[in-house]
Structure 1
Amino acid sequence: MLKKMINNAKIDIEIHPNDPLLIKSGMSTVGGADMVFVRTYRFDGKDEPFIPGSSLKGMIRSYAEKICRSLRDMPVPVCLPYLEPKKEKEGEKRQASCGLYFENYKKKVKPISSPDIYSLSCPACRLFGSQSFIGRFATSDAYLTDEFRQNGRPVFEIRDGVAIDRLTGGTAGGAKYNMEVLTRGEFKTTLEIRNFERWQLGLIGLVLRDMEQGLVRVGFGKSRGLGSFHAKITNFEITYYNRNINSLKGLSTLASKEDSKAYDFFPETVDDASQLPVPRSEGLRYIYNLTDSWKESLDPAVKDLVKYIEAVKWPKNIEEYIAGRS
């Protein structure tokens, strides 16, 4: 389905720190802090802090998985991306990685078609991807906003850290370290979902709501007072290609019957979807701006998400597929 252009969601957001942030750089330093904030060079040969898209995608995926797990207890509806099949520990039963399942299968048996990989994957892997599937969701690196770059400057502080001796409750000898944290800065980035099922848009909408309210943390030291931020949605657009429609629709409605069956798209559960605003036309694209109404517009998508998680066949479907063909 990624070879076709059916629909697309583009969401521009700003990230404003509530607490100090630390996105650790992989580069070693000489004479500086033990942990330094990641930087890049963009303008005038000067470095500036940024938040890598990989960090943002990992944060959003992790939080989205928590939402899915909150909607159904047993069996758990999403996999653990790092967990190898047959190496589950206590509390990890039937949560092995979809991608690692497929990789092991392809090494021993034969390739799997893209429709089968998608239809057999857990909800998180369907949206964010795995070792065997690129996914529908993408993030850009978050750079300083133009306004902040013109009117302000990033502020860093050096914070001391120390390990605690679990026996004495005091400082563990030789375990002191320091870290460079960002205390002032504003970032902008873009999230994109290409060829989405409607429930996928609902899941991202729930994550965005909590990001707006400062309930999501990013980076290092999230349990130590670091990483809190709030997001501001500056632009929210949905695009349909060669389709001028009135209400929010996803792939299960827009794709052909053959593709819907092959990829096992989840049927949309309600027909009373809120009306979309009048679109602007750009060639084959019809672009709907939901910046001021995205929460209300995504209500049907959230209802789809709840029904989908209740009904999702994973992990039974992937277990039966692997067992039946190995």
Structure 2
Amino acid sequence: MAHEETATFQTRYHISASIILDSSLHIGSGETDTRSLDDTTEKSQVSTIVRDYRNKPYIPGSTLRGLLRDLMEHNQNITKDTIKALFGTGEENNECGGKLRFANAYFNETQSNLSKPDNEHILKEDQEDCQGLLLKKIDIKEYKRRHWDENRWSWIINGVAIDRCTGSAAEHRLFFYEAVPPGTVFTLGIEAIGLGEDDIELLFKTLSFLKKENNLILGRGQAVGFGKCHIGDDICLHGITDKNALHKWLENHSAAGLNSLPKLSAPGINTPLAQKNNTVTLHVTLKFNGPLLVNDPSSTYKNPKKNEAGLGHVYLSDHKNRIFLPGTSFKGAFRSQMERIVRTMGDRINGKVLSPQESSNLACYPSGEKELCCPDINKKDDIAEKLCLVCRICGGRGYRSPLMVSEFSAKEGKEGELRLQDFVAIDRFTGGVAGDKKFNALHREDPELTGSITLDCDRIDEPLLGLFFLTLRDLIEGDIAFGYGKTKGFGYCTAEVTLKEESNNMFPSQSLSEDEAWLAAAVPQVKELEKIIENTLTKEV
């Protein structure tokens, strides 16, 4: 009892909440797994995600702790002493632990099952497609879309790098990685010791900020739409705030664990944590005026009957089985157009067509030879020294992209008409049909997809905004194609672009598609861009 009288009482809280995925999530384990992903004997290397003892995915507590600390450090109203008290410090000869302890956010199977993704094949068994092909001839159940594994609660995403010189898939740049599908729910747990009322209010303001769209992004591929999630509305506070409550809790022998702490009223939050961030978000609607196909290899199949057609190419669909355009596909095409623009400007300024070596400082060739690629970035000063103009906007090795895009998905009724198109190769010598060269493609005709582009203006030099504006203009006018078969008429569209934030002096008008005043306002940046290109070429010579 003497020890109890002299001991200093510390408040103890437990905060729980749900983390709900809005897009696929990949938090890598750093390991790869060898798997067979088709009906051949060939094996593929798949980058795996972190898993718990149940072989289910989870979000490491260190990831969540780092995210919350970063948010608070970027808020000018929060002092360094407050951050040090909450999270601790690893400063040499001044190490101390923090008041917050983050548990791993584990997979919530019950809640995740409520929004379980539709992982059947796009064409269900016994369904008749638009061309009258009866799929009941094939046991469609054998095909798992995206190689979905319910026991591991993950699917496999594939990607390929495009060679900037040839325009085709780069050799040895096909990759596969595991991902947790949208709709998955994880349970977050934070333990807090010795917090005052102001600290609790600050923590709840931060969690309230993470309830909003695009404020909580985790894992791989953040610049291309992966890892988007949000905190649910079920934030719950339990705790002990005085000695009497502690004695009462200890006397309850049936109580077990931090969840049995008395439930407390959460502080009322009128405004979430304010973030000073000079970003611009554009809402983009892509209106395709023809077929669209981003190929999903896991949905294709070969018919065992020699004279019966299978499916050679099938469009990629999301967790709701609707067509969508991945952020990787959008950003890759957007970046390629940006590279064409800056190289064309370089040719005009230089008075001749530049060689790849001469133009690599304007726009490098990421999948090309080593001397044509931008090097790894290890410090901030390397950005202007070593990165080409395009990598400064779209990101490079060791440098996170200031330009972030979302996935582009179709709303109900905007998926477009389902079509199956047959193709055949022509023998260049005989002029007849080349043997065994017939194939088909299942796609959507005239879909309408919506998504967003976010630009961090604090991390881009103002002249480079001119390059972004020119590329955005080409997107609006329909000069950028997406997905498979650009030489066959696939993937062409126009765009409608509107500004999400009204108060931004970069764009004089709200709708960029209808009013080109914003482009006229960008003329000074374009002029400055021309000077940078000229200086870069002169420096190289």
Return the offset for 1:36: 0.5
1:172-183, aligned counterparts within 5 Å? Answer: 172-183=434-445
**Could you tell me which of 5, 17, 24 is aligned with 2:288?**
17
Match of 1:298 in 2: 522
After alignment, is 222-231 or 205-214 more displaced?
Answer: 205-214
The whole-number CA distance in structure 2 between the counterparts of 1:213 and 1:38 is 25
The whole-number CA distance in structure 1 between the counterparts of 2:384 and 2:399 is 7
Q: Structure 1's 24 and 13: CA in aligned 2 closer, same or farther, altered over 3 A?
A: same
Q: Helix, strand or coil: the match of 1:55?
A: helix
The whole-number CA distance in structure 2 between the counterparts of 1:65 and 1:239 is 30
Q: Helix, strand or coil: the match of 1:220?
A: coil
Return the offset for 1:12: 1.0
Match of 1:272 in 2: none
Match of 1:229 in 2: 493
**Is 1:8–1:239's contact at 8 Å kept on the other side of the alignment?**
no
Off by >6 Å, runs of 4+ in structure 1: none
**Is 2:466–2:529's contact at 8 Å kept on the other side of the alignment?**
yes
Q: Helix, strand or coil: the match of 2:421?
A: strand
**Could you tell me which of 384, 399, 403 is aligned with 1:137?**
403
Task: Provide the aligned C-alpha RMSD in A.
Answer: 2.9
Larger radius of gyration: 2
Match of 1:192 in 2: 454
Q: Helix, strand or coil: the match of 2:482?
A: coil
**Is 2:323–2:415's contact at 8 Å kept on the other side of the alignment?**
no
Match of 1:270 in 2: none
Q: Does 1:37 align with 2:299?
A: no
Please list the CA deviations of residues 87-122 of structure 1 after superposition, one character each: whole Å capped at 9, or x if unmatched: xxxxxxxxx110xx33xxxxxxxx832321443110
**Is 2:416–2:444's contact at 8 Å kept on the other side of the alignment?**
yes
The whole-number CA distance in structure 1 between the counterparts of 2:418 and 2:538 is 45
Return the offset for 1:155: 1.1
The whole-number CA distance in structure 2 between the counterparts of 1:24 and 1:144 is 16
> Would you say how many aligned residue pairs link Structure 1 and Structure 2?
246
Return the offset for 1:232: 0.7
The whole-number CA distance in structure 2 between the counterparts of 1:229 and 1:11 is 17
Q: Which amino acid aligns with 1:11?
A: L
Q: Does 1:312 align with 2:536?
A: yes
**Could you tell me which of 389, 392, 395 is aligned with 1:126?**
392
Match of 2:278 in 1: 7
**Is 1:120–1:314's contact at 8 Å kept on the other side of the alignment?**
no
Q: Which runs of 5+ in 2 are unaligned?
A: 1-72, 75-275, 304-309, 348-353
Match of 1:51 in 2: 325
Q: Helix, strand or coil: the match of 1:312?
A: helix
The whole-number CA distance in structure 2 between the counterparts of 1:314 and 1:158 is 52
Which structure carries more relative contact order (alpha carbon 8 Å, separation 6+)?
A: 1
Please list the CA deviations of residues 230-265 of structure 1 after superposition, one character each: whole Å capped at 9, or x if unmatched: 00112264877xxxxxx65xxxxxxxxxxxxxxxxx
Q: Which amino acid aligns with 1:40?
A: D
Q: Helix, strand or coil: the match of 2:436?
A: strand
**Is 1:49–1:143's contact at 8 Å kept on the other side of the alignment?**
yes
Return the offset for 1:57: 0.1
Q: Which runs of 5+ in 1 are unaligned?
A: 87-95, 103-110, 241-246, 249-275, 278-287, 318-326
The whole-number CA distance in structure 2 between the counterparts of 1:222 and 1:163 is 16
Q: Which amino acid aligns with 2:453?
A: L
Return the offset for 1:85: 2.0
Return the offset for 1:53: 0.5
Give me the TM-score of the superposition, normalised by structure 1: 0.67
Q: Structure 1's 28 and 115: CA in aligned 2 closer, same or farther, altered over 3 A?
A: same
Please list the CA deviations of residues 168-217 of structure 1 after superposition, one character each: whole Å capped at 9, or x if unmatched: 33321001110012103211111111122222322121112122222221
% identical aligned pairs:
29
**Is 2:292–2:447's contact at 8 Å kept on the other side of the alignment?**
no
The whole-number CA distance in structure 2 between the counterparts of 1:176 and 1:97 is 38
After alignment, is 23-32 or 288-297 more displaced?
Answer: 288-297
Q: Structure 1's 311 and 237: CA in aligned 2 closer, same or farther, altered over 3 A?
A: farther
**Is 1:64–1:203's contact at 8 Å kept on the other side of the alignment?**
yes
The whole-number CA distance in structure 2 between the counterparts of 1:290 and 1:309 is 30
The whole-number CA distance in structure 2 between the counterparts of 1:155 and 1:72 is 42
Q: Which amino acid aligns with 1:70?
A: T
Q: Structure 1's 117 and 235: CA in aligned 2 closer, same or farther, altered over 3 A?
A: closer
Return the offset for 1:6: 5.2
Return the offset for 1:134: 1.5
The whole-number CA distance in structure 2 between the counterparts of 1:136 and 1:239 is 20
